[in-house]
Chain A
């Protein structure tokens, strides 16, 4: 069964548009809450902000797990965003394809580096 919205548009398929739209918002909310959590720990701390305090924020296991979720959220959020940008402004398919591949490699490498840094702590 397909449903028509408007006069011409036929909405069928895998609903990946909705999935990307929604996951970008959900990941945004996760990252925003995490940002508030980290900033609150800095703002409500006493004394100068040095290594002990900063590393201490990320050292509990629950915070590492949460940060891991945020890194994964960022990976997908940025992929959807950069893919949108490339689809809007880069018209030649070959160039766009190369940029999509670059974005995937770049983001996967970055996520790996971030997770490694996190779990070395």
Chain B
């Protein structure tokens, strides 16, 4: 069941990201919905779940939205997923503020790791300015915070009923 929901979440993230690129192409680059899925999986299911979700999401991103070298996003998200999963199992990260912080850090890490990996593999990529880096992280954190709140509330209601 966990696999089903993760796949569904990734699929929805893919559809939404595609839709965003059509409607607001410039702003869509500043939102990474796959990171949101990855972070949620990491906080709820631990590092294994986060890494697998990250790998899957990263590969979708590589194939559909990425450049010439496949797997850069996949690798990045595996690393980020591991970090988030580990943090989730070591620290109490159930409070909304803590989750927003994790989202912010995860997005920041995702961007930095990707750019470093691209540089290491000699893939020429467009880099983000410092402002862009933090804006991306803040946008993702805000969006994820709201989404996580609603998902948790929905799940709590289902459990009660």
Q: Do A and B bind each other?
A: no
